[in-house]
Structure 1
């Protein structure tokens, strides 16, 4: 059963086609990652899903029916460009956004204070938004996104700009929401977050969905004839080997693709013969980063820089 289905969404701005016939399905009770480089079309797709941008064509289906205003009432949406009322105080901001979604009373106030404490913001609940750091404002906006207990969470680059401690808190809450049966979609260009958290993904590149499905199934498909290697030494000799299809350096690990699975043992033998210290040799294993590079194309070093530097 699919909670959401995006069907051939298309959006043009003048002569530029920002998103071209984007389609993907978000299963019930899952975390879905919309993956792509900066400028790939992630935010435009999400804004069409939220009816912020009207698509030129295509539709979004919510449990069998085309989405309407009721979808906005059921969703918690964290936009890429954060927007809070600068002169309002933190707690009143949270209660205001909850009231817009029809939630008021002591229970909401109690939950708001619990989230503030969790994000180490209890001492700032009476501070004005404009007096908070950018990171703290982002935490307040995330709390506002989830405070009304929505059925769906749509988060556009939720980890952008957060330090590691608050990133972990955010991840914990997202996983808690999954356990509660919520449907979660987030966009990101950070492959490690997507790989650790997502059940299903779609990769968007130049406005088009180029890969979609269960992350486990996709990794199985792309991992054939692939080795994830950690080592010490010089493996430059591999590029001259006829059975080696590709060697990609990802920093801590190197992805090596051979022409057929039977040649994986030949690769290991060759490494040993050249006195390479093998720290990790995972046959038929592949990272989401490697899948992204293979499917999205382009220069691996440039993509690596983009996904790590934002």
Structure 2
């Protein structure tokens, strides 16, 4: 029996060595529909055992990219290698997939629904039923084992489908907008489950238009906008596209201390209209700014260095239009 993973107890694989091979390698993926280019030259490299986020607004090409990686559709150009195979169908038994369009048979009981999804990946039904009971009990859903899907709430049905995605113990799990339909409590459980899977060596890829999920979960992300990937790499590298800033709280307001500052810092200083001022962090470090503030008797109440968040990085990389589209995505759109 493999290790349990906190609130979401699921089976994973043994820890991978530090020098991890790639679970996913894609180069130059292009997909067109009726003359419209939905995905335009996407490159992705996902190490085994990673939690990897594909971040972008609805309609950016995330789902089409995932479907090409899974072999549901083939690219018009480019190639992909999944778990070492050039044909994703050859390793389908080692992949778990939660599609954006949720779909369980309404008349099926929860246990049978989980076992059925596992059977589609080669897991014998008898073993699937046994594991389904274990998973439902582990997640506090044992009372729903014999209930039909139509009798479950939307969130409970979503949890059942997630368990079905994992029941055959895949090496690679791909979630398309997995947090849709879950309340805050179960979103937190799902985040912990994803981290647990990665810790045990399973590769987790998920698409989202909610930046906070990607920022909390991922070491690496691909930012998708207009069918292209303007950035793919570590979250910290994306955030470093925007220089860190210094946040100053002063009792002196817009006082004579500003005249003591270097000209470039004085020029780029901005205020929130109250006690707080913001400056770009000088290349030489905080010392020149701190010296000017002390010499100018700024009356420092607090001073901190703040790095840009992933949202600011997304705006800088993908542009204002993509950021607006990301913010305008509604729960109703997410659930479609």
Q: 1:251 aligns to what?
A: none
1:294 equivalent in alignment to 2:316:
yes
Q: 2:304 aligns to what?
A: 281
Q: TM-score, normalised by structure 1?
A: 0.82
1:10 equivalent in alignment to 2:10:
no
Q: 1:222 aligns to what?
A: 241
Cα deviation, residue 243, structure 1: 2.3
Q: 1:167 aligns to what?
A: 187
Query: Larger deviation: 189-198 or 17-26?
Result: 189-198
CA distance in 1, matches of 2:323, 2:205: 28
CA distance in 2, matches of 1:214, 1:120: 35
Question: Per residue, is there more strand in 1 or in 2?
Answer: 1
CA distance in 2, matches of 1:247, 1:143: 49
- Structure 2 CA distance for partners of 1:95 and 1:273, relative to 1, 3 Å: farther
Q: 1:203 aligns to what?
A: 223
Q: TM-score, normalised by structure 2?
A: 0.76
Cα deviation, residue 156, structure 1: 0.5
1:98 equivalent in alignment to 2:118:
yes
CA RMSD of aligned residues (A): 3.5
Larger Rg: 2
CA distance in 2, matches of 1:51, 1:296: 27
Aligned counterpart in structure 2 of residue 189 of structure 1, from 209, 225, 239: 209
1:20 equivalent in alignment to 2:77:
no
Report the secondary structure of 2:28's partner residue: strand
CA distance in 2, matches of 1:229, 1:114: 51
CA distance in 2, matches of 1:247, 1:79: 45
Mapped contact 1:79–1:156 kept (Cα < 8 A) = yes
Q: 2:5 aligns to what?
A: none
1:87 equivalent in alignment to 2:107:
yes
Mapped contact 1:243–1:263 kept (Cα < 8 A) = no
- Count the aligned residue pairs: 298
The gaps in structure 1 that reach 5 residues or longer are: 249-253
